[in-house]
Amino acid sequence: MTTTQLATPLFALDIGTRSVVGLLLQQEGEYFSLLDSYTKEHDERAMLDGQIHDVPSVAKVIEEIKQALEEKHGPLKKVCVAAAGRSLKTIRSKVTIDIDTKPMLTRDDVLHLELSAVQQAQYKIANERTDSSADYYCVGYSVLNYLLDDEPIGSLVDQIGKQASVEVIATFLPKVVVESLLAALARTNLELEALTLEPIAAINVLIPPSMRRLNVALVDIGAGTSDIAITEENTVTAYGMVPVAGDEITEAISDHFLLDFPDAEKVKRQLLTEESITITDILGMETTYSKADIIEPIEEAIQQLAHSISDEILRLNGRSPKAVMLVGGGSLTPKLPEYVATILQLPTNRVAIRGADAIKQLQKEEQKLYGPELVTPIGIAIAAKENPIEYISVTVNDRTLRLFDVKTLTVGDGLLAAGVDFVKLYGKPGLAKMITVQGRLISIPGEHGTPPLILKNGQPTSLDDPLKPKDCLTVEKGQDGQEATITIKELIEDEPIMTVYVNEKPVSLKATIKRNGQMASLSENVEDRDYITIEQIATMKDLLQHCGYSLAMFESFTLKVNNKHISLNQHIPHITVNGIKLAYKQPLNKMITSCSKFQMYHRMITPS
């Protein structure tokens, strides 16, 4: 390792609700060593729930920390910071589409479905917010389940079924959180070297990816808030925050022993190292108490803190996790791990305080302390260095956007940030036509809509293509499908012809086709709500005429002989249909349509 490399340490800031921690880490190969740290409390209430409310005030604290570290280690130009985890929102969302009439699903179809679910989550979070100016960006999502016809499946690509569904968990961060961080740094002439997320920073150094299949809760207990992250299913499944932490314990000490807040904070810290503590109250009375005497009156406040944390874990996780890790200065609150274990019904050894000495990448020195309050700032430096998050600028349909690069950004992420509605991106299917054929209602579907045309820098691209700074995206909605078109011939397929035998000779009988009661040809197009009927020869009389027989030979006639009227009918032929005697005016429909569709051959007529 060269001297130049050693002279360029990593500067990290953990900007909390009550205080700011600054530290310097020296990277040596795969390991890091802690060079120095400096903590400064805010002079006034400049932070609220992880959000900077007073940028100049926070910048003043950062400047003081920067100067204190520069006096020992030289100029500092760049810094690693984290966006507060309490600002993160995680939303579960599920989207289902009908694929009954679609061809096999492609990779782009599945990505479109995933991003539709993420967008639905965006709508959910927008509806939950009363402040319409809050602008949330998706900083990552994980697919929890693919479903085909409501059954879990490993992949939807090339699948065929009736319905396809995807369930995702998406994480969002308010744009204003990062913008206020950048504004505070700009006031101190610090350049943002890398950005990470506080829960991700702590989890990355304490819970590596190989452990995230386990259901574990990580709780970062600061002064004003307790941040919670839940791991399971190989990902971070939820983030949460409760607005209670170490200050509640300090206030309980202050109230019971009549101490001002700074003195009460000092007493709270002495509980970690001293068995007896001498305090002077606001009346000037000096009293020495045992550690147990101080803990007993504040025990209710400790239990309330444990309940608040445990209730939020149960709300986020739906059940007790397998284990709980406590970090942050507030985690050192006496009896807190025991109460959390009791409330969550966990063995006491499943709830543990984890200090910075548990970070495997950190090289430890015997003379230094590596308490739980250093886990998050050290994690910020390491995570920001190993997995830096950057802003990149891209253009979508002539609109310039700055994206939060928490992962490998894709074209789909760019379209999400631009507010492109994925549900409306694909062309709509053409209108179907409803037609009645021989009394049966038939639906003729329209054409499928086409996929959208997505161009990156003028070239066709796909939703999962990576996005780089200055990329230019253009999106054109897919073409809507044409409405259904079909001719009578296409509708009924074969021209209906029936063959019968008349005196051993075959006779072909063409059906009459009517559209809405009017004669129609096979080449005519069918319209919506049309009523198509197919009519065959209905009576024996019609059949005989069709075959060229004179109907007179089937009629009786009368002669007058010697003034007597004589009726003659012996000349009328006998007619049998399939061996059954039939009058020539009798209907044929029932006798010939009960056979299969126009293709049965009958020995129908035998005049004798």
CB 392 within 8 A of CB 469: yes
Q: Is the predicted pLDDT of residue 215 greater than 70, yes or no?
A: yes
- Read off the pLDDT of each residue in 364-372 and give the average, rounded to a whole number: 77
Reported as a pLDDT band with limits 50, 70 and 90, residue 594 is: very low
Confidence (pLDDT) at 5: 45
CA distance 521 to 499: 21
Structure tokens at 210: 């190989």
For residues 455 and 447, the answer to whether their CB atoms sit within 8 Å is: no
289 phi and psi angles, rounded to 5 deg: -120, 150
Q: How far is CA 405 from the centre of its chain?
A: 18
Res 80 pLDDT > 90: no
**Least-confidence region, from 86-95, 210-219, 512-521:** 86-95
Query: What is d(CA 348, CA 153) in angstroms, rounded to the nearest whole number?
Result: 39
Q: Is 342 exposed, middle or buried (0-12, 13-18, 19+ CB in 10 A)?
A: middle
Closest CA to 590 of 502, 572, 580: 580
pLDDT at position 598 is: 26
Q: Give every CB contact of residue 318 below 8 A, 6+ residues apart in sequence.
A: none
**The predicted structure's pLDDT at residue 524:** 85
Q: Tell me: pLDDT of 504 over 90.
A: no
Q: Which carries the bigger pLDDT value, residue 554 or residue 228?
A: 228
- Out of 9-23, 158-172, 357-371, 545-559, least confident range: 545-559
On the CB side of 434, how many CA atoms lie within 13 Å of its CA?
3
Hey, which residues does 33 pair with through a beta bridge? 26, 363
- State both tokens at 217: 């809760």
Task: Say what percent of the chain tops pLDDT 90.
Answer: 16
Confidence of residue 99 (pLDDT cuts 50, 70, 90): confident
- Residue 596: what pLDDT? 26
- For residue 83, which of 310, 239, 316 has the smallest C-alpha distance? 239
Q: Is it the case that residue 131 has pLDDT exceeding 60?
A: no
Distance (Å, whole) CA 221 – CA 341: 16
pLDDT for res 557: 72
Supply the pTM of this predicted model: 0.59
Q: What is the CATH number of domain 3-88+176-386?
A: 3.30.420.40
Q: Return the higher-pLDDT residue of 245 and 339.
A: 339
Q: Which residues pair with 148 in a beta bridge?
A: 151, 164
| Residue spans per domain, the chain | 3-88+176-386, 494-509+537-605
Highest mean pLDDT among 39-48, 85-94, 362-371, 446-455: 446-455
CA distance 571 to 557: 10
Chain-wide mean pLDDT for the chain?
79
Per-residue pLDDT, 593? 39
Q: How many alpha carbons lie under 13 Å from residue 132 in its C-beta half-sphere?
A: 0
Note the pLDDT of residue 322.
93
Give the model confidence (pLDDT) of 378-419 as tens digits: 888 887 666 665 666 678 777 766 665 555 677 877 777 777
Q: What's the pLDDT at 257?
A: 93
pLDDT tens digits along 253-285: 999 999 998 899 889 988 888 889 999 989 999
399 vs 373 pLDDT, higher one: 373
Strands (E), 269-344: 276-280, 286-290, 323-327
Q: How many CA atoms lie within 13 A of 562 on its CB side?
A: 0
pLDDT for residue 599 is more than 90: no
Could you read off the pLDDT of 507-533 as tens digits, one per residue?
Answer: 777 778 888 888 888 888 888 888 888
